[in-house]
Structure 1
Amino acid sequence: MAMGAAVRRMHAAAAAAAAAAQPPRLTKLALHPPRSVEVEFTDGSSFHLSAEFLRVHSPAADSKIISVSGEKVIFGQRYVGIMSAESVGNYAIRILFDDLHKTGIFTWDYLHHLGSKKFSLTRNYIRTLRKHGLSRDPQRRK
């Protein structure tokens, strides 16, 4: 009997470790156009992610990215807005921004990552802009 109990404990520990390795599941997604998306997860975390933050961290390749010293930088997105979003299966959304960027697919896992790292990602983004003399503000048209 002791051997069976030890095996059950090992299986239970392995299952608990696997569950802990899984990112939390999305429980709420609310679009607040044009300015933000609100997400909540099973671990109790909730995040308000601004349109600018999401646009800058879009997982898609984009024509508005410039390469500065080999570093890809998106700038001038302070006033970008969210026009709409559509479901991609049951695991993500595709957001249409008012600069017509629409190729980024934001998975639930990626939204959780962005929310939980929001402050460090924002700080790094601002540092990168400063380092290259760029701004969050859009360029003025000539």
Structure 2
Amino acid sequence: MAGLKPGIPTPASLTVHGASRVLEVGYSDGAQFRIPFELLRVYSPSAEVQGHGPGQEVLQHGKRNVDIVAVEPVGNYAIKPIFSDGHESGLYTWVYLYEMGSQQEALWAQYLQRLADAGVDRDTPMAPKSSGHGCSSH
């Protein structure tokens, strides 16, 4: 199946649990991951979150209560969740979801440390986006 690395199981099920705010993803090897919406949102693979290169990541916060309002399939290799805060540019491949699911504990620890280092917490709202063109020299 496209979008999978050798040795990575294929996706078998996908369930959005709105009340508990988790995305449940099952794989052909029997692995079953329950990934919180917040974790998915703060580790979005989009350029808006990851930047265009190392060191350009944008720390996400204030996402504890984010919901997934829809999930769109992207070919046979990914999904595109649409979040309640308007974010919809991240394509989550089956490999990325497997890696997130299997590394949740480390990802949470890393995220919490980044928040602490920045002096914000999970509930601190994000500053509004500027309406400029991303270049502060004009």
* TM-score where L is the length of structure 1: 0.75
**Mapped partners of 1:71, 1:104: distance in 2:** 14
Per the alignment, residue 45 of structure 1 pairs with 31
1:30 aligns with 2:12: no
The letter for the 1-side match of 2:107 is L
Per the alignment, residue 123 of structure 2 pairs with 137
RMSD: 2.3
**Mapped partners of 2:62, 2:110: distance in 1:** 16
Q: Counting strand residues as a fraction of each chain, which structure ranks higher?
A: 1
Q: 4+ runs of 1 displaced by more than 6 Å?
A: none
The letter for the 2-side match of 1:83 is V
Partner SS, residue 47 of structure 2: coil
Q: Could you tell me which runs of 5 or more consecutive residues in structure 1 were left unpaired when the two chains were aligned.
A: 1-19
Partner SS, residue 30 of structure 2: coil
Q: Counting helix residues as a fraction of each chain, which structure ranks higher?
A: 1
**Mapped partners of 1:87, 1:21: distance in 2:** 21
Per the alignment, residue 106 of structure 2 pairs with 120
- 8 Å CA contact 2:22–2:34 kept in 1: the answer is yes
**Cα deviation code 1:1-49 (max 9, x no counterpart):** xxxxxxxxxxxxxxxxxxx942111111111236121001122211111
Q: 1:130 Cα deviation (Å)?
A: 0.5
Change (3 A) 1:127 1:86: same
Per the alignment, residue 14 of structure 1 pairs with none
Partner SS, residue 112 of structure 1: helix
Q: 1:113 Cα deviation (Å)?
A: 0.3
Per the alignment, residue 82 of structure 1 pairs with 68
* TM-score where L is the length of structure 2: 0.77
What is the count of residue pairs matched by the alignment?
118
The letter for the 2-side match of 1:120 is A
Change (3 A) 1:71 1:104: closer
**Mapped partners of 1:90, 1:138: distance in 2:** 36
